[in-house]
Amino acid sequence: MIETRPGSDLPVHPKTSQLHSRGPKNFSREFRLQAVLCALALLLCELLSLPFTTMNVCDDGPFIRMAQTFAHTGHIVYNGWEAPMMLAQIYIAYPFIKLFGDSYTAARMSTLLLALVTTFFLHRTLVRTGSSERNATLGTLAVALSPMVLMLSATFMSDISGFLAITLCLYGCVRAIQSSANRSAIAWLCFAVFTCAFFGTSRQIAWLGDLVMVPCTLWLLRRRRRVLLAGALVTALSFLFILGCMHWLSRQPYVIPVPPLARPFPRTIALRQLSYIVLEIPFLVLPVIAVFAPRIFRTRPIARLILLTALVAYVVIAFHSRHDYNARLHFEPTAGYDGAWVNFSGVYSVFPGAPVALHTPTLVILTILCIGGLLGVIAVALQAFRTKSSSPPAAHFLSWKQLGILLVPFSLGYLTLLATSVGTTVAIFDRYALGLLGPSMIALLRLYQERVRPTLPPATILLIIIAGAYGIIVTHNTFALDRARVDLANQLHAHGVQYTSIDGGWDYNFDTELDNANYINSPLLKVPADAYIPPPPASPGICQAYWQIKTPHVHPLYGVSFLPNACYGRAPFAPVQYRPWPFRTPHNLYAVRYVPPSAEPQPF
């Protein structure tokens, strides 16, 4: 006899596989330790990377200054670089700043805490959606120890907070579906709605959890009238909360407004960048998706030929059709733009000339593993349509149909919202893919253990170790480079050069600008009406700092460069060395002239 899950009209298989023989109460109590160990692994890797510096990293400097202002005055004060609302992160950073002072590291510690919580709940979500404990642990480590997550967890960027909001919402929705008691289901719906609403105040795209994922959950629970009515009520409250927050944000001074759709909408650019973000996901889950690659050889001869031809064609096209070396990374979603966190140089760098860390052979291997794994997933999925699973999910786990209703609308909405942002922001950056890692990992683990093998192979463990080691290396090297930039700027300042005369990269310059002004200058600012200050025409014969329009108080005479002959050549200052891991071969940062030597101020 075919049974149905409580609160759902979807059928489940009457057999319970040995893989999922434990009831939900047992696995909930017995295996939380593995989720804690995953979080501790992230913490250990983060500490090993020595992620501290006294300068802004990407966008987080203005955000940290907001948190510091709030800690001292109790007021939310934007400073011209905020499209994210940042409210949740500011409140969470408050005790860290009060306890440890106004250092950048103190505020960034709060993001690390959010990353640890995200890791714990990601593991529990994977288990609750049908993955075995071992597979869930490996899947969680594959995400948490990826270079992207390790780097972002050491900053005050809003991406981790958004990732946490989506993960908590997904976990709450799954628990609500699995709850047999109405009161428990309502409680978990409230948990999903309120946590997503709160953490979404840091990164608004996470509100898609309340706007899409929770309504999909209510559809699955539609036969339980009390749950449906209570869930609809709290969802309506979250809608009102979101509208109120957006209205409040639009009235704040020095906030960059982001229209819902650029006009005219660049469709070609949007589709191209959307393809980059989709291809970023296989890299972020590489240790899991790579083990699907051998499944290409288990398909029918015609399908095998098609898949292998597609793989070879992709590798050839990716490495011969583009002139930009950085764009050869197939997982580079911002080809042609600055701002990629995972790139060929092995550091997050904002100026050209960075040494190459990932050479062509490594890029070829990564491309084969990622795209080969993606094609292997397609092969397994196509085969799944033709045959029944030998390991059906237990009754207390969600079926594929339930997972599809819960995750597919959210994922499509997420991608659509990213696509519509093209033209209103610089690009779809690689870090924007974090929001889709939970749904992607759920699908990959369930597909592998039901259609390939019950457990992930030892190769996954090896790949996790490699990815984690590389994540430690790139996190360390990014912060080591930033510390060297600060040291070089301080050396110039010790010789009488004002900080406003130093171009340390646009992110370093943001610190300098906020030391001399209340906000970052931007033509997008609408409130107050006269906030934007048009810069004077550039003087002929001098070099310009990148985004100098946003930092009008910075008038560089000198810049920081990997290239000693950049601009007007080396300035008479000693270079600063930093030693990137793993080989610790020293790299030099040079001070270069931005004006001809004849115009250089004397003496030093």
DSSP string, 395-460: TTSPPHHHHHHHHHHHHHHHHHHHHHHBTTBS---GGGGGGGHHHHHHHHHHHHHHHT-SS--HHH
With a CB cutoff of 8 Å and minimum separation 6, the contacts of 240 are none
pLDDT the model gives residue 465 = 97
Pairing of strands 3-4, 11-12: antiparallel
pLDDT the model gives residue 197 = 97
pLDDT the model gives residue 298 = 86
10 exposed, middle or buried (CB, 10 Å; 0-12, 13-18, 19+)?
A: middle
Distance separating alpha carbons of residues 189 and 417, to the nearest angstrom: 24
Distance separating alpha carbons of residues 317 and 305, to the nearest angstrom: 18
**What's the pTM value of the predicted model, to 2 decimals?**
0.90
Q: Any idea what DSSP says for residue 534?
A: P
Distance separating alpha carbons of residues 152 and 446, to the nearest angstrom: 27
Distance separating alpha carbons of residues 562 and 390, to the nearest angstrom: 57
Task: For 222, list phi and psi in degrees, rounded to 5.
Answer: -65, -20
Q: Which amino acid is at 545?
A: A
What is the largest distance, in Å, between two alpha-carbon atoms of the chain?
A: 91
Distance separating alpha carbons of residues 522 and 534, to the nearest angstrom: 9
At residue 590, the 3 state secondary structure works out as: strand
Q: In the chain, how many H helices and how many E strands?
A: 20, 6
- Give me 389's structure tokens: 């699973």
Q: Any idea what DSSP says for residue 206?
A: G
- Give me 57's structure tokens: 């990293």
Q: Read out DSSP for 352-411?
A: S-PPP-S-HHHHHHHHHHHHHHHHHHHHHHHHHHHS--SSPPPTTSPPHHHHHHHHHHHH
Q: Are 398 and 408 in contact (CB under 8 A)?
A: no
Pairing of strands 576-578, 11-12: unpaired
pLDDT the model gives residue 361 = 82
- Cα of first residue to Cα of last residue in the chain, in angstroms, is 88
pLDDT the model gives residue 18 = 40
Q: Are 160 and 204 in contact (CB under 8 A)?
A: no
Q: Any idea what DSSP says for residue 578?
A: E
pLDDT the model gives residue 394 = 59
At residue 422, the 3 state secondary structure works out as: strand
- Give me 358's structure tokens: 């990932």
pLDDT beneath 70: ranges in the chain: 1-31, 259-264, 319-339, 388-396, 423-426, 541, 599-604
At residue 566, the 3 state secondary structure works out as: coil
> Using one digit for the tens of pLDDT, what is the confidence trace for 426-460?
577 888 999 999 999 999 999 999 999 999 999 99
What is the total residue count of the chain?
Answer: 604
- What DSSP element (H or E) covers 3? strand 3-4
Distance separating alpha carbons of residues 164 and 152, to the nearest angstrom: 13
Q: Any idea what DSSP says for residue 552?
A: T
pLDDT the model gives residue 27 = 47
pLDDT the model gives residue 243 = 95
Partners of 593 in the β-ladder: 558
pLDDT the model gives residue 163 = 97
Cα–Cα distances in Å, from 366 out to 171, 478, 550?
31, 21, 37
Q: Are 88 and 164 in contact (CB under 8 A)?
A: no
pLDDT the model gives residue 524 = 84
Angle at 157 between CA 153 and CA 160, to 5 degrees: 50
Q: Are 455 and 132 in contact (CB under 8 A)?
A: yes
- Give me 442's structure tokens: 């759920």
Distance separating alpha carbons of residues 536 and 514, to the nearest angstrom: 20
CA dihedral 29, 30, 35, 36 (to 10 degrees): 90
pLDDT the model gives residue 299 = 85
Q: Which residue has the tokens 């100026």?
A: 351
Angle at 206 between CA 203 and CA 209, to 5 degrees: 160
* Other Cβ atoms closer than 10 A to 180: 11
